[in-house]
A and B are shown apart, each in its own frame.
Chain A
Amino acid sequence: AQYTESSFWQTDVDAGSLPPIAERLPYVPLVVDLEAKGRVTGRQGGTLRTLVTRSKDVRQMVVYGYARLVGYDETYEIRPDILAALDIEDNRKFTLRLRPGHRWSDGHPFTSEDFRYWWEDVANNPDLSPSGPLEFLRVDDELPTVTFPDENTVIYEWSGPNPEFVQQLAEARPPFIYRPAHFLKRFHAKYADEDSLRAELRAKRVRSWAALHNKSDNMYKFDNADLPTLQPWMLATKDAKSRYLFVKNPFYHRVDTKGTQLPYLDIIEMNVVSSGLVAAKANAGEVDLQARGLDFKDIAVLKKGEAMGGYHTELWKNGTASQIAIYLNLNYNDDGWRNLMRDVRFRRALSLSIDRKIINKALYFGLAHEGNMTVLPQSPFHKPENLTAWAEFDPEKANALLDEIGLTERNREGQRLLPDGRPLWLVVETAGERQEVENALQIVVDNWRDIGVKMIMRPLERDILRNRVYSGQTQSAVWFGWDNGLPQPSTPPMFAVPQQQEFFAWPKWGQYYQTHGEAGEAPDMPEAIRLMELAAAWKQSTSEAKRGDIWQEIVDIHADQVFAIGLLSGARQPVVVNNDLINVPQKAIWAWSPGAHFGVHRPDEFWFDR
């Protein structure tokens, strides 16, 4: 094939400090057929400006860059990306085939040695990983056998199936199971010579070689400009505080059909601003591509500034299963309350009495989908009836349900009383970061008052909220629904079953599973137990169809049991796009998992038509 040299690197190539394009690409680069995707083949060049709100968000470039061993495509199928191929046998044996001639961004070859280094010298080094290799590599506490038959092949093998393995590799924040060995070895006690290591320690002001290694080795944090990378853009500024420049990786492995190496954009300029000012800056036309830090409520202002700012505002859909979900803590420390909250009729009644239509109108101009938490329509498991189950506004039915439970006593203010005589005051704790949650809860307060339930809203700091939930001190909490609203049959269902404390309805059950029974409580509700069984079955199963069935049942159980009272889903995420920026999809999903926000839409294919 004939590759064209990028003008950006031309001078370096001419000067001889960089090999010409043909030598930089893998022997078999990943060729992207843009036209086939309905996109336009572009030209190289340009600087894209975007904003983040914290300086540690430079890591977004790993997310947006989305060069993974395997990754999702726009239909949310997993495809090899960095890997030339991935062979899977029974979900047990995974053969990773690298692209021959693939190089790190510093030009050093990317080979199985990099995988070996990570597995043997990082993951299994007690200094660097005190608790051993990552959880997802364990199947029933068994570690894989990892072999490196040749330069371009790596094999992970377990005796049982590990269905999570591939999914994890395609995550927004993937476990990087490879490291630039040539670069890191000089920080590793095993390889480096002691004197130079000591000198290095002093220079970097850290106390142990392990700390030094850890610091240098942040593939995800992306804050070390020296660390070679495989991402489309690499960090080019050192010691920056508020302005980070990323330049294109000259050894990136993707090219378009015309032989132009991706990414098209030469430079990404990322500025750190306070979160309150993102909208103002976007409005003033100071960004080329921006979604982070923009909220639905900013849309009016953004729209207003379009003409002057030279941008347009796309409205993507949010990929979480529910924009706002209320979790009643089934592990709440108070017996009386816990029993009540475990009564599905109570949860249904609360859900039924919420006027979602009004909330939708007030918050999202009626553009979101009203309904309980369930998977999004893009998922194969979506059923419209699951969305509306126990979600239509029906206070009478709700009242009837509550009466049926036996909460018939009321105090003078019309609030129902618990069997033990306490008034039904439901404290809902929130992370206090989102105004829309507060506004929505305002309406819920009124709705619930009509069925004799007094709701008290309590904003907390995010970490504090989490800690309170995990320890069972929180009665109920508001959070997003499942992060992943688009499960496929192969998506591990851990987040939907009582195996994770992060699902605020069952923190203790989750802990129990996560700590292997050391903390928390075993699930003791039939539905929860059923979910556990389903998860186990999913893990054992290898057939796509079987897994699909299992998933469907999980989704249905959730819809029926209302473990999380979802209010709305599919809310719009404003995306500000410069008018000259080509290939940014108009309709898309804004999701962290799966999708890595912009990542699955492949920003390396965006270009400026100027």
Chain B
Amino acid sequence: MSTLPDGRYVDDRPYERDLGEEARNADLDVSNTRLVWRRFREHKLGLVSALFLLFSYLMLPFAGFISPYTANERAPDHLYGAPQGIHLFHEGSLIGPYVYPITAEVNLETFSWEYIRDYDNPAKLEFFCEASYYKLAGFIKTNRHLFCAPEGATVFLLGADRLGRDVFSRILYGAQLSLTVGLVGITVSFFIGIILGSIAGYFGGFLDWIINRVIEILRSLPELPLWLALSAAVPSHWSPVAVFFIISIILGILDWPGLARAVRSKFLSLREEEFVRAAEMMGAKPSRVIGKHLLPNFLSHLIASATLSIPAMILGETALSFLGLGLRAPAVSWGVMLNDAQNLASIEIYPWTAIPMLPIVIIVLAFNFFGDGLRDALDPNRS
């Protein structure tokens, strides 16, 4: 650095005359997905959520193995059994994981079940033991469980319900349905909603008019009577899961207009953006403009919407069961379990029957943070 006598300042580093070479190095070959992943990793909460979700889904086939009971296995002597803690120390000495056996007795004064713990006879849990048969991953029939109740005792980690079924095991089994089938509806609804919404929004004019009329009509159509009619029309011998599957697809089919309108209105405005014009002038086909230019600019909303529909889809059946259409036994889902818990006794006297709320909240939050992480990773402004 130097200051000339006339008050000028001149940099005195050697000066080379080449243009625009940037010092920063970036590897060119990284694919977009990799970059997104790299950025996603920085969102800690999102990462944890993603891992949790991954774990949850990977666990689904092994739900039978992890849970000590099968979904509809009843313990007739432990109706409304209270949650049992797992203890390690008994009278000051470590004897490994054990439970106190419980006997349930009717109290005809209060008309409720009372649980008497037998503190003298701790029963040690068994591991990799044999209990009732189930199908691992849906086809391997086995009776090995990660842990099971000791002889003569029960292990209800989260209590038992009215018929003496283990809430913990049912939550695990319920996840198999709740975490999968409901998503089908979301997929269907997003698929239709995005496609039709994009078409309406991007092309406008006549197509927009038509699609909007369809949306209006669909939206004006009452869902309630439709469900009522449907419940009469479904063939009787269909399994509950099949019915539920169909219903979630129909839910999806009925659900798309909201999304489609959102997509449409956003696209009506986005399509006027210069970069869309530019793409068109390069000769980009509509599908390309929509897929590569418009949708990515609406992705945040879509991610948020998807996350938000998840609890709705998981719980959709509880509303439907008011109309006799919900998922029903012997199928187990979180919605079914909560449905059973919708009475005062469950709240006041046997609160553990309402526990399935927790996994729903946790899963939904995980999806939310995962979605947020994804949004963040895709956000160009954060690079």
Contacts and interface: CB of A to CB of B under 8 A. Distances in A.
Q: Do chains A and B touch in the complex (CB under 8 A)?
A: yes
Interface of A: 276, 279-280, 283, 297-301, 303-304, 358, 361-362, 365-366, 425, 427, 429, 431-432, 435, 438-439, 441-443, 445-446, 456-461, 464, 467-468, 474-475
B345 A439 contact: no
Interface string B341-366: 01111001100000000000000000
Given A361-B79, A435-B340, A446-B72, A297 B232 contact: no
Contacts of B112: 300, 303-304
A297 B110 CA distance: 12
Contacts of A297: 162, 343, 345
B329 interface: yes
Nearest to B106: A365
A429 B348 contact: no
Contacts of A474: 236
21 contacts: A276-B343, A280-B344, A300-B112, A300-B345, A304-B348, A358-B74, A362-B79, A362-B163, A365-B106, A425-B237, A432-B321, A435-B340, A438-B328, A438-B329, A439-B162, A441-B329, A442-B74, A442-B329, A461-B231, A464-B228, A464-B324
A366 B348 CA distance: 22
B344 A298 contact: yes
Most chain-A CB neighbours within 10 Å: which of B111, B324, B330? B111
A301 B348 contact: yes
Given A362-B79, A365-B111, A456-B237, A445 B345 contact: no
Contacts of B323: 461
A303 B329 contact: no
B164 interface: yes
B330 A362 contact: no
Given A361-B79, A362-B79, A366-B106, 7 more contacts: A298-B345, A300-B349, A358-B76, A365-B106, A432-B324, A445-B72, A464-B231
A301 B349 CA distance: 7
B142 interface: no
B170 to A, nearest CB: 12
A299 B344 CA distance: 10
A279 B228 contact: no
B109 interface: yes
B251 to A, nearest CB: 18
A427 B236 contact: yes
Interface string B289-310: 0000000000000000000000
A279 B111 CA distance: 15
A301 B345 contact: yes
B180 interface: no
A442 B163 contact: yes
B236 A456 contact: yes
Contact of A283 (B163, B326, B330, B344): B344
A303 B111 contact: yes
Contact of A442 (B72, B239, B326, B344): B72
Nearest to B233: A464
Contacts of B164: 362
Nearest to A296: B111
Contacts of A358: 74, 76
Nearest to A467: B232
Contact of A446 (B74, B232, B237): B74
B163 A439 contact: yes
Contacts of B74: 358, 442-443, 446
B243 to A, nearest CB: 9
4 closest Cβ pairs, A-B complex? A432-B324, A427-B236, A300-B112, A299-B111
Contacts of B330: 442, 445
B281 interface: no
B224 to A, nearest CB: 11
A366 B321 CA distance: 28
Most chain-A CB neighbours within 10 Å: which of B74, B231, B239, B344? B344
A458 B349 CA distance: 29
A445 B344 contact: no
A356 to B, nearest CB: 12
Interface in B230-279: 231-232, 236-237, 239-240
A13 B277 CA distance: 89
A329 to B, nearest CB: 12
Contacts of A464: 228, 231-232, 324
B58 interface: no
A474 B348 CA distance: 39
Contacts of B106: 365-366
Contacts of A425: 237
A471 to B, nearest CB: 11
Most chain-A CB neighbours within 10 Å: which of B112, B239, B324, B340? B324
B342 to A, nearest CB: 7
B108 interface: yes
Nearest to A572: B111
A403 to B, nearest CB: 24
Nearest to A299: B111
A468 B345 contact: no
Given A365-B106, A365-B108, A461 B324 contact: yes
Nearest to A367: B108
Contacts of A280: 344
B124 to A, nearest CB: 29
A278 B257 CA distance: 38
Given A301-B349, A303-B109, A362-B164, A460 B231 contact: yes
Given A297-B343, A298-B344, A445 B329 contact: yes
Nearest to A358: B76
B110 A303 contact: yes
A303 B324 CA distance: 30
Contact of A461 (B232, B239, B342, B345): B232
Most chain-B CB neighbours within 10 Å: which of A279, A442, A445, A475? A442
Contacts of B326: 459
B228 A461 contact: yes
Contacts of B76: 358, 361-362
Interface in B86-124: 106, 108-112
Contacts of A442: 72, 74, 163, 329-330
Contact of A456 (B111, B239, B343): B239
Contacts of B109: 303
Interface in B314-339: 321, 323-324, 326, 328-330
A458 B345 contact: no
Most chain-A CB neighbours within 10 Å: which of B106, B240, B343? B343
Given A443-B74, A456-B237, A301 B344 contact: yes
B328 A459 contact: yes
A19 to B, nearest CB: 49
Contacts of B237: 425, 427, 456
A82 B343 CA distance: 43
Contacts of A475: 236
A578 to B, nearest CB: 19
Nearest to A429: B236
A300 B112 CA distance: 5
A279 B162 contact: no
A304 B324 contact: no
Contact of B329 (A362, A366, A457, A461): A457
Contacts of A304: 110, 112, 348-349
B343 A460 contact: no
Contacts of B324: 431-432, 459-461, 464
A300 B111 contact: yes
Contacts of B342: 276
B218 to A, nearest CB: 23
A441 B328 CA distance: 11
Given A365-B106, A442-B72, A279 B236 contact: no
Interface string B64-93: 000000001010100100000000000000
